[in-house]
């Protein structure tokens, strides 16, 4: 089957729409997270969402994505507050605080998950899928929710572009000119939480972190301008979604999530190697040309400088 | 309690002890998230070793995973020195390797019995069923593996305690006095990988990071001496293993999840009530001696 034939399948089209939107919005958000040096926050929040999702399921008994979103967003907010509180009020550093919140929340989540499984409510199997991600299982309403949320995320980023830019590069100055830095920081976290929660369904908990980090880091290699970087990161994210979806549609055994992440990783490796100026190849070329020039210079001087 | 329960408790305590020992160094060197990365990225190593050896035989898996663990650290270092922020390079590397692992599992999942759930969450409830007789002792396989990893860590860290200590607190000084810092870095990372793999069948790949970081961070709040911190961290780990085990009995829930949750509770207690670095103590001091500049930050 070629790509066009695959596109005839309405199911593939929905999955494609979902992964592209997911890649786009998480790429854009990831750029800000990367510049704020909070790349691993996405990882921690993705794990921390688990107890929220479980509690939402236990309270409502339904598997609606909106309720999961609310539960996970609540858990994610508690997690960000927790990380901030621990780093501010003790000598625990950010990395350990992230590790603590991530693992403890995830541990509590697994306890709740086993409770749900033991309580035998019949339809708990969807929760597992929710964790590991199963893009193939998404239906039209899921994709619509994802579409609305993704557009909202990108829209907020576009509206607050100037503020986020200042926040990323010079928070001190931002505070100086009267921007509500703490609130903006919290808002950025909230946006990441929302992106993570929506994305978990498509690519799963662990791999969602990759969609936030990898496209942004790759984009950083190509440019020195924030606007270009966010656009590129969104593009890389969307492209990984497309590649992952097609690769997985071509072979039924392969899940979409890991394939999208591998596509993003491949783009990262390409960026590391071939990006202009910062890439390995261009650095090697530059070094070689400088050396050649220096040698030529040296020989020239030796020839000219030596008394005949 | 029957024999299996004792084996579960012993395995959990051994995992907690091994992780607590190494976790202290990770927390001090601000590499807690590298523990997280290794615990995720050993997955492809486990799967490949499993595919090659054709069994869940542990020695092959240990080596496979230790190799991938070291590869992870090497790649993180490579990208970091290439100009990527350290946490971002951790994130890029471990998610890519984890994706490879998940892909391999789902590719071969039809004809191998390696359960993804089991790898990620662990299944400590059945450790007592799988015993391996060796050296005249008929111990569960998990006890052999985790005990071996713990012994290895104890021997290496015991032998090179001074070097590890200096590397943890002042790598620059360590390099200046001639200690091969990179070697000890990779040795520590290798031990973390081995311990992670030895533990993953019992507590799962994701929860290993909980036992690596949480008890060590708790100990970090309670003491200022490395020796005491390691002891404290191991103790906190073992206590959370015991507490978690009984909580899991009570709630009929995942044992590994309960152990990490118990460690979390102990951490919160230390965070609030630690005699030297606790929040309550700081508040009391601030109230008593407002204006005294010395006490503002610990």
Kindly tell me if the per-residue pLDDT of A135 is higher than 80: no
Cβ of B116 within 8 Å of Cβ of A90? The answer is: no
For residue B297, pLDDT over 60 is answered with no
Question: What integer is the mean pLDDT of A213-234?
Answer: 90
B3-295 — its CATH code? 1.10.3470.10
Cα(B124)–Cα(B16) distance, integer angstroms: 13
How far is C-alpha A45 from the geometric centre of its chain's CA atoms? 11
Report residue B236's pLDDT band, with 50, 70 and 90 as the boundaries: very high
Give B210's contacts in chain A (Cβ within 8 Å). Answer: 99-100, 103-104, 106-107
Q: Specify if A46 maps to a domain.
A: yes
In chain B, the percentage of residues whose pLDDT exceeds 90 is 9
Would you state the pLDDT for residue A186?
83
Q: Report yes or no: A49 and A196 within 8 Å, Cβ to Cβ.
A: yes
What ipTM does this complex have?
0.85
* A261, A263, A269, A271 alpha-carbon torsion, rounded to 10°: -110
**pTM of this prediction?**
0.83
Reported as a single tens digit per residue, the pLDDT across B191-214 is 888 888 788 767 776 678 888 899
SS3 B137: strand
Tell me the chain A residues in contact with residue B117 when contact means C-beta distances shorter than 8 Å: 128
- Which DSSP string do the residues of B98-166 spell out, in sequence order? HHHHHHHHHHHTTTS---HHHHHH--GGGGGGSEEEETTEEEEHHHHHHHHHHHHHHHHHHHTHHHHHH
Q: What is the pLDDT of residue A122?
A: 47
**Residues contacting A42, CB < 8 A, separation 6+:** A26, A30, A33, A192, A195, A196, A208, A209, A212, A213, B91
Considering the domain boundaries, does residue A284 fall inside one?
no
| B133 beta partners | B138
Which CATH number covers residue A21?
1.10.3470.10
pLDDT at site B116:
55
pLDDT at B210: 86
Give Cα A156 to chain centroid, integer Å: 17
Mean of pLDDT over chain A: 82
Nearest to B261 among A43, A107, A265 (CB): A107
Residue B146 CA: distances (Å) to CA of A46, A129, A283, B39, B53: 29, 31, 46, 15, 20
> End-to-end alpha-carbon separation of chain B, Å?
45
Q: Quote the distance between the C-alpha of residue B212 and its chain's center.
A: 3
Tell me which chain B residues have a C-beta less than 8 angstroms from the C-beta of A100: 32, 210, 213-214, 217, 264, 267
A144 belongs to a structural domain: yes
Residue A127 is predicted with a pLDDT of 57
The verdict on residue A285 lying in a domain is no
In chain A, the percentage of residues whose pLDDT exceeds 90 is 13
Residue A23 has pLDDT above 70, yes or no: yes
Total count of domains within chain A: 1
Q: In 3D, which of B124, B83, B81, B119 has the Cα closest to residue B256? A: B124
What pLDDT is stored for residue A219 in this prediction? Answer: 92
Average pLDDT over residues B85-105: 85
Boundaries of domain holding A111 = 3-275
- pLDDT at position B267 is 92
The answer to whether B242 contacts chain A (CB < 8 Å) is no
Q: What is the model's pLDDT at position A138? A: 67
Distance from C-alpha of B283 to C-alpha of B289, rounded to nearest angstrom: 10
Between B28 and A2, whose confidence is greater?
A: B28
Q: How many CB pairs under 8 A join A and B?
A: 205
Please tell me the distance in Å from B97's CA to the nearest CA on chain A. 9
Predicted local distance difference test score (pLDDT) of residue A308:
47
């Amino acid at each position: 089957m070629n790509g066009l034939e695959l596109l005839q399948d309405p199911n593939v089209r929905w999955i494609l729409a979902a992964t592209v939107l997911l890649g786009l919005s998480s790429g854009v958000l990831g750029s800000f997270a990367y510049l704020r040096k909070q790349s691993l926050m996405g990882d921690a929040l993705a794990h921390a969402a688990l107890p929220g999702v479980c509690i939402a399921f236990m309270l409502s008994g339904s598997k609606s994505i909106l309720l999961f979103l609310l539960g996970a967003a609540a858990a994610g907010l508690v997690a960000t507050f927790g990380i901030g509180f621990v780093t501010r009020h003790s000598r625990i550093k950010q990395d350990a605080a992230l590790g603590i919140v991530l693992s403890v929340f995830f541990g509590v989540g697994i306890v709740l998950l086993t409770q749900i499984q033991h309580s035998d409510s019949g339809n708990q199997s969807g929760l597992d899928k929710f964790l590991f991600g199963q893009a193939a299982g998404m239906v039209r309403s899921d994709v619509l929710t994802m579409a609305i949320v993704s557009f909202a995320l990108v829209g907020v980023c576009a509206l607050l572009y100037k503020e986020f830019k200042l926040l990323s590069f010079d928070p001190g100055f931002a505070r100086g000119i009267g921007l509500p830095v703490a609130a903006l920081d919290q808002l950025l976290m909230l946006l990441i939480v929302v992106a993570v929660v929506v994305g978990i369904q498509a690519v799963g908990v662990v791999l969602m972190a990759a969609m936030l980090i990898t496209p942004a880091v790759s984009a950083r290699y190509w440019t020195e301008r924030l606007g270009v970087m966010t656009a590129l990161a969104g593009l890389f994210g969307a492209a990984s979604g497309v590649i992952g979806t097609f690769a997985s549609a071509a072979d039924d055994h392969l899940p979409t999530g890991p394939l999208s992440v591998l596509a993003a990783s491949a783009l990262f490796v390409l960026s590391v190697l071939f990006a202009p100026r910062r890439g390995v190849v261009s650095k090697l070329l530059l070094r070689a040309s400088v050396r050649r020039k220096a040698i030529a210079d040296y020989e020239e001087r030796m020839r000219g400088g030596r008394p005949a | 309690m029957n024999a299996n329960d004792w084996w579960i408790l012993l395995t959990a305590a051994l995992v907690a002890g091994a992780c607590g020992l190494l976790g202290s160094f990770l927390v001090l060197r601000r590499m807690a998230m590298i523990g997280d990365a290794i615990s995720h990225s050993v997955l492809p190593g486990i799967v490949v070793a499993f595919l090659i050896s054709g069994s869940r035989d542990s020695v092959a898996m240990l080596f496979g995973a230790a190799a991938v663990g070291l590869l992870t650290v090497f790649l993180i270092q490579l990208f970091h020195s290439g100009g990527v922020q350290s946490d971002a390079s951790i994130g890029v590397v471990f998610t890519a390797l984890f994706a490879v692992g998940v892909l391999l599992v789902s590719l071969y999942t039809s004809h191998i019995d390696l359960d993804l759930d089991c790898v990620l969450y662990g299944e400590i409830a059945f450790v007592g069923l799988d015993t391996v007789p060796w050296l005249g002792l008929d111990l569960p396989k998990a006890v052999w593996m985790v005990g071996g990893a713990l012994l290895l860590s104890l021997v290496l860290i015991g032998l090179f305690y001074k070097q590890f200590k200096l590397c943890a607190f002042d790598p620059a000084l360590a390099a200046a006095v001639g200690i091969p810092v990179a070697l000890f870095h990779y040795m520590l990372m290798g031990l973390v990988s081995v311990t992670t793999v030895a533990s993953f069948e019992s507590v799962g790949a994701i929860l290993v990071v909980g036992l690596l970081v949480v008890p060590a961070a708790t100990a970090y709040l309670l003491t200022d001496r490395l020796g005491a911190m390691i002891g404290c961290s191991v103790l906190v780990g073992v206590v959370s293993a015991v507490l978690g085990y009984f909580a899991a009995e009570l709630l009929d829930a995942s044992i590994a999840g309960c152990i990490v949750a118990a460690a979390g509770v102990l951490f919160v207690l230390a965070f609030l009530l630690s005699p030297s670095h606790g929040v309550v103590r700081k508040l009391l001091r601030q109230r008593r001696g407002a204006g005294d500049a010395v006490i503002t930050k610990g």
